[in-house]
Structure 1
Amino acid sequence: MTHGSTWDWQASARAAGAQPDGRFNCGAVSITHPRAIVWKRADGQVRTVSGGELQRLAGRLAGALRALGVRRGDRVAGLLSRRPETYAVALAVWRLGAIYVPLFSGFRGEGLRVRIADSEALVIVTDAANRENLGQMEGDLPPHTVAMIGGGGVETDHSLESLMQRVTQEPSLAETKIHDTATIMYTSGTSGRPKGCMIPHHGLITLSPYVTRCLAVSPDDLLFSGADAGWAYGLYTTGLAPLSMGCGRVLYEGPFDVEGWLNTARELGAGHLAAAPTAFRQIAAAGVDDRARAIKAATSAGEPLDAATFEWFQTQLGLSIHDSYGLTELGMVTANLRGPNSVALAAGSMGTCLPGFEIQLVDRGGAPVPTGEVGRIAVRDNGFLLGAGYWGRDSEWAARLQDGWWLTEDLARQDEAGRYWYGGRADDVIVSAGYNISPLEVEAALMKHPLVADAACVGEPDPVRGQAVTAYVVLREQAPADLDKVLRRWVGERVGRHAAPRRVEARTELPRTASGKLQRANLRTGGM
C-alpha cells in the first residue's frame, strides 16, 4: 500500500471558493487568464477569450437556460464542437444548480440515444455541426428542448443568442454544497452499457494535485490538448481545472492532424502538449522537424504509454512525456510528477501515487500483493474522488467500494521506487498453459519491433493451453511471409516463450473507443 504526499484538501477547497459550511458552486470558480481560451477554428481563424469574457458569457447563458425552464437538479446535455461556448455552457448549468451531461461530439445513433435517455435531459444544447446527427435519433428520445448556439437548427429549436439578448438580469447563483452533483459523465462503454458517473461540485478541486504536480502549469503557460470536452480529461482535467488555477488553454476545433497540431502549437506559443499516447505515437511516426521542437513539455493519459514512444521523444526531441493514470470515477491518481522530490521517470511507467491519494494493489481475495507482483488497483475513498456514484445504479457503485476502497478493473505492479506499471484490465489477462500473461507486456515488446506501428493482444480459446496469445498488429510496411515466426521469436526473446503470440494477424487499424482506448473485446469477438 502506498500513498502520495499529504495534500490539504480543505485548503484547496478554500482556494477554489468553498465556504466553511460546505457551500460551493463550481460554476462561479474564478478564471482570470487574459488568454483563458485560444480557439483555433477549423477554418484556421483564431479567437481569444479572456477569463472575464468566459464568465460573463456563462452568466448570460445561465439566464437563457433559465428562460427555457431549467431549474435546480434538471439535466442539461451538451452536444457541442470544440469551441469556447462548450465550457461556458457547463459553467452556466452549474450556476443554476442543474446537472450538466457532456456528450462526445463523435457519438452517433445509439451512443447518443442511451446517454440522453438515461439522464432524461430536459434541454440539449448543440450547434450546427452536431444538429443533423442529433436529429437522426431525436424521435427516440424522451421529451426535450433543443437549444442552438452559434446559429443553425430547425424551426422548433431555440436560439441561445436570441434568448441571451432578452436577458435583463443574470440569475442568482444557486446555493449548492461542495458534494452536490454537478455533472453526469458517461463512461466510454468498453464493458457493457455506459454508466453515468456523478461528479460533484468538488470535481475541479479533486484535480488540483494533478494540475499542480503533474501538469505543473503556471500563468505563463498555454496548455494544448486535443481532448474533447465530452470526456472528463477534456472538460475537467485539461479544461476547467487548469483554467481555474490560472493557466490558459488552446482549443483546437478540427480533427486530429499531426501537421495541424504542430503548426498551431508553434503559432500560438503553446509549449505544453497533453494528449493520449496514440497522438504521441503519430507525432513520432511523422518524424522530427522544427515544429515538434516547439513542444517544451508533454503529458499523456487515457491509455498506457509504450516505452518505444517514450524513448523516441527522449532521443529525438530531448523531451520526457509524463504519463499518468486515472478513471472518470476517481480522477487522476498516479502520475510521473514534476518538481522537487519526484521519482525518476522510467519508460513505460505510469508514475507514482499523486499527493492526497492512497493506492493498494490486491489479489482476487482482496489481500494486498507484495511489491513487484501484479494486483488490481484499489484507491481509498478520501472524500474527494472525482465520482460519487452511478446515476440510477447505486448497487453497482456500492459493489465497487469495499471497506472504504474503490476497486478498479485495472491491474498494475509496483516497483521498489514506488512507480506503478500498468498490467491491463483484470478481464484482459491471458491465462495460457497455467501462465498469467499481461497483454500490455506483450504489446510493449511488439511495439519495439521496427515493423510494428500499433499492436494489441488477446487470449483466444486453445484446446491444449486453455488460451493462446493472439497478436493483432498494424505494420509500417508490407508484411514478410514469415511474420508470425519473426514476431514470435521477438517476443519470446524479450518477454518469454510462454508469452510469445501463437498467431499474428496484420490489420490496417485496431478497434478503439471514441476516446482512443483499445477495445480488446472487439478483437476477441472478431469485430472491429
Structure 2
Amino acid sequence: MKILLEFQALRSIWNLKSFYRLFHQDHKVFASLNLSNYEAINRCEQEVPEYFNFASDVLDQWSQVEKEEKRPSNPALWWINGQGTEVRWSFEELGSLSRKAANVLTDPCGLQKGDRVILILPRIPEWWLLNVACMRTGIIFIPGTIQLTAKDIFYRLQASKAKCIITNDVLAPIVDAIVSECQFLKTKLIISKNSRDGWLNFSELFKAAPAVHDCIKTKSQDPMTVFFTSGTTGSPKMAEHSHSSLGLGFALCGRYWMDLSPSDIIWNMSDTGWVKAALGSVFAPWLRGTCVFVHAMPQFEPKVFLNTLCTYPITTLCSAPTAYRMLVQQDLRSYKFKSLRHCLTGGEPLNPEVFAQWKSQTGLDIYEGYGQTEVGIISANLKGMKVKPGSMGRPTAPYDVQIIDESCNILPPGEEGDIAIKIDSKQPFCFFSQYIDEPGKTATTVRGDFYITGDRGTMDEDGYLWFVGRADDVIISAGYRIGPFEIESALIEHPAVVESAVVSSPDPIRGEVVKAFVVLSPSFILCNPEKLIQELQDHVKKATAPYKYPRKMEFVNQLPKTITGKIRRNELRNKEWGRI
C-alpha cells in the first residue's frame, strides 16, 4: 500500500497546477545551482572553472536543495531487482552513504587521490555509490563489464597499474587466479554478504565507516575516470576523462536531448562498463536533479522490460536500438505505459522501420543521439526538433561537426566522408584528455584542424548527420564496440586455425554481428563443420569476453591481402554487406 501511494504521489506531478509550480521551482533551483553557468560553459560562452568536483558541486548542492526547498521530489536513485526488493536514496542519503564509502576507500583500502581502481560490478546500488565515493576522494575509477574474462581483467590491471579492484562473488575467483602476476594490485574489495580470504569486505567496512568526509578539492582537468576502448590492430586503449569533461560536459545533453528535469525518472539500460552508463545513469540526469531508475535485470527480457514500464512511473527511456528491435516484435498495444513520454537511443544506428513500428504502436518518437567514448555526444535529435528516421540528428554544442575528405576539405551535402569535429588551438573541454601511455595514438585522432571520429557519414542540406559505417574495422553489435584483433588472436590459439579475419555482418536484431573467416591448418581434416564452429565459438568465449564471440563463421582457403601482406578486411566486409 505504501509503494502504491508513492506511485500515485509521483504521478500527481503531471496535473497542470503541479506542472506550473514545479516549472518555476526548477528554474529557481537551477539558478541556485549555477546550472545556467554550466550550460554557458558547454556553449563556450564561459571558461571552465579552475576547480570542479561533481560530488561536491552538483550532488551536494541537490542535497541542500532537498533540505531548503522542502518540496516533494523524486529519489536520486531508485533501484529494483525484480523480486520485490528495492532501494530508494534521496540526494541527501546518496551524499551521506557515499561519504561512508569514501572513508572505506581511503582508510581500510589505503587509497588516495590519483590512484586507479578497477570497478567491475553489475547493476547494483554499490556501483553508483562507489562512483560517487571515487569522485569525493579523487580516486580514478575504471569501469568494466561483468562479462570480462580472466585475460581481459589481467590486461586491464596491468595496463592501468590499478592499485585496487572492486568486484563481486562471481568474478572474485577469476581475479584470485591471476592476482599473483599483478604486481601493481595492492587491495581487493568484494561486494558480498560473505567474507573471502585475501579480500576486504565492503559491507562489513561500510557499517563501521563514519559518514563524515571532506570532499577533496579537484581541478577541472584532473583525471576522474578511464574507459577501455576497442581497437582494430591492438589491445584496448585507455581513454582518460577529467572531472569537467564528464561532470560538466553533459549539461546541454541532459536538458535538450534527454529533456530531463527534477520531476522525471529516467531508465537507462546501458551496461555499467560503458561510457553510456556514465552519460545516462550518472552525469546527465543528476546534473538535472533527475531520478535514475535501475532494474538489476542481468539479461534483457522483453516482457519483463515492458511490464516494468507499465508498473513504474518512468518518464524517460534510454536503450540501444537492439532493445527496440526486440520490443517491436511484441504486441506493444497490449501494454499501457503509465508515464513514459520521451524515448532515446544511441550506440549504434537505429533502423527507420523500427522507429516507425515503435511510433505506430506507442505513439512515441525515438530520439537518436550519436557520440563516442572519447568526446561524448556529438549530434542528436533534440526534443522539439523534427526527427528524420535513420538520422543521428544535428550537431550539438559545443561541437562544429563537418563531413570532410582526406585533405580536410568540407564536403557538400550528400557526399560521404569522415565525420569530424572542428577544433581550434585547444580542444573542447568535454574531450577526453588522452590515450594513457599512447601519445602516438592520441595524436592520430587529429588531422589538420579536425578531430577524426573514425566514422564515415553524410550531412544533408538541413544539417542532419547520417551514419554510413566505421572507417576502421570496429564492429558495433547491440551497442557493444568490438575490435577484431582480440577475436582473431583468440581464434589463432586454437590448433585447427592457421589464420582468420573478423568483420561485421548484417543482423536483423543486433544490427551487425561478428563474423570470422577462418583458414584451417593443412594438417586438420574437417569432418564436421558445425561441430568445429561450436568448438571455436566456445574457445573464443573462454579467451575473451563472451559477447565478442563470432556468431557467424565461414571456412575459406585463403584471405584477401594487400601486396604487403595485410588482410583486406574491408573487402570481406563489403562482400558481407552486399557492396561488391
> Which of 435, 447, 466 is matched with 1:390 structurally?
435
Q: What is aligned with 1:30?
A: 58
Report if the CA contact (8 A) 2:345-2:367 is conserved: yes
1:366 is matched by which residue type in structure 2? C
TM-score, reference length from structure 1? 0.77
Q: What is aligned with 1:286?
A: 330
Instruction: Give the Cα–Cα distance (whole angstroms) in 2 for the partners of residues 80 and 223 of structure 1.
Output: 20
Report if the CA contact (8 A) 2:269-2:319 is conserved: yes
Shift of 1:164: 3.1
> Which of 304, 309, 326 is matched with 2:349 structurally?
304
Q: What is aligned with 1:424?
A: 469
Q: What is aligned with 2:259?
A: 216
Instruction: Give the Cα–Cα distance (whole angstroms) in 1 for the partners of residues 162 and 419 of structure 2.
Output: 33
Shift of 1:141: 2.6
**CA-based RMSD:** 3.5
SS at match of 2:349: coil
Instruction: Give the Cα–Cα distance (whole angstroms) in 2 for the partners of residues 250 and 206 of structure 1.
Output: 21
Q: What is aligned with 1:327?
A: 372
Q: What is aligned with 2:97?
A: 57
Q: What is aligned with 1:244?
A: 287
Equivalences for residues 14-93 of structure 1 within 5 A:
22-31=50-59, 32=62, 34-41=74-81, 43-67=83-107, 68-93=109-134
Instruction: Give the Cα–Cα distance (whole angstroms) in 1 for the partners of residues 510 and 284 of structure 2.
Output: 32
Instruction: Give the Cα–Cα distance (whole angstroms) in 2 for the partners of residues 212 and 26 of structure 1.
Output: 17
Report if the CA contact (8 A) 2:154-2:178 is conserved: yes
Unaligned stretches of 5+ residues in structure 2: 1-34, 63-72, 475-503, 518-536, 555-568
Instruction: Give the Cα–Cα distance (whole angstroms) in 1 for the partners of residues 277 and 511 of structure 2.
Output: 26
Instruction: Give the Cα–Cα distance (whole angstroms) in 1 for the partners of residues 78 and 354 of structure 2.
Output: 28
Q: Deviations over 1:410-442 (max 9, x none)?
A: 01100111111000011369xxxxxxxxxxxxx
Report if the CA contact (8 A) 1:36-1:49 is conserved: yes
Shift of 1:26: 2.1
Work out whether 1:272 is the aligned partner of 2:316: yes
Query: What is the count of residue pairs matched by the alignment?
Result: 450
Shift of 1:230: 1.4
Equivalences for residues 173-252 of structure 1 within 5 A:
173-189=215-231, 192-202=234-244, 203-252=246-295
Instruction: Give the Cα–Cα distance (whole angstroms) in 2 for the partners of residues 127 and 57 of structure 1.
Output: 19
Instruction: Give the Cα–Cα distance (whole angstroms) in 1 for the partners of residues 256 and 352 of structure 2.
Output: 22
Work out whether 1:106 is the aligned partner of 2:147: yes
Q: What is aligned with 2:187?
A: 145
Q: 1:327 to 1:19 in 2, by over 3 A?
A: closer
Report if the CA contact (8 A) 1:238-1:274 is conserved: no
TM-score, reference length from structure 2? 0.70
User: After alignment, is 305-314 or 516-525 more displaced?
Assistant: 516-525
Q: 1:283 to 1:69 in 2, by over 3 A?
A: same
Q: 1:325 to 1:229 in 2, by over 3 A?
A: same
Instruction: Give the Cα–Cα distance (whole angstroms) in 1 for the partners of residues 37 and 159 of structure 2.
Output: 32
Shift of 1:293: 4.2
Instruction: Give the Cα–Cα distance (whole angstroms) in 1 for the partners of residues 352 and 548 of structure 2.
Output: 17
Q: Deviations over 1:204-244 (max 9, x none)?
A: 21111211111111211111111122111112333232123
Instruction: Give the Cα–Cα distance (whole angstroms) in 1 for the partners of residues 81 and 37 of structure 2.
Output: 37
2:186 is matched by which residue type in structure 1? H
Q: Deviations over 1:110-166 (max 9, x none)?
A: 222212221111111122343234334334433331112342351211122332344
Higher helix content, 1 or 2: 2
Q: What is aligned with 2:455?
A: 410
Q: What is aligned with 1:345?
A: 387
Q: What is aligned with 1:253?
A: 296
> Which of 411, 428, 432 is matched with 1:369 structurally?
411
Instruction: Give the Cα–Cα distance (whole angstroms) in 2 for the partners of residues 115 and 151 of structure 1.
Output: 26
Instruction: Give the Cα–Cα distance (whole angstroms) in 2 for the partners of residues 105 and 330 of structure 1.
Output: 24
Instruction: Give the Cα–Cα distance (whole angstroms) in 1 for the partners of residues 381 and 394 of structure 2.
Output: 6
Q: Deviations over 1:95-122 (max 9, x none)?
A: 1122111111122222222122211111
User: After alignment, is 358-367 or 322-331 more displaced?
Assistant: 358-367
User: After alignment, is 120-129 or 70-79 more displaced?
Assistant: 120-129
User: After alignment, is 401-410 or 224-233 more displaced?
Assistant: 401-410
- Among all aligned residue pairs of Structure 1 and Structure 2, give the percentage whose two residues are the same amino acid: 26
Unaligned stretches of 5+ residues in structure 1: 1-6, 430-442, 462-507
Instruction: Give the Cα–Cα distance (whole angstroms) in 2 for the partners of residues 413 and 20 of structure 1.
Output: 32
Report if the CA contact (8 A) 2:253-2:284 is conserved: no
Shift of 1:11: 5.0
Instruction: Give the Cα–Cα distance (whole angstroms) in 2 for the partners of residues 25 and 124 of structure 1.
Output: 23
Shift of 1:167: 3.2
Q: 1:250 to 1:518 in 2, by over 3 A?
A: farther
Q: What is aligned with 1:436?
A: none
SS at match of 2:444: helix
Could you list the structure 1 runs, at least 4 aligned residues long, displaced by more than 6 angstroms after superposition.
Answer: 457-461, 511-523
Instruction: Give the Cα–Cα distance (whole angstroms) in 2 for the partners of residues 165 and 131 of structure 1.
Output: 21
Report if the CA contact (8 A) 1:128-1:153 is conserved: no
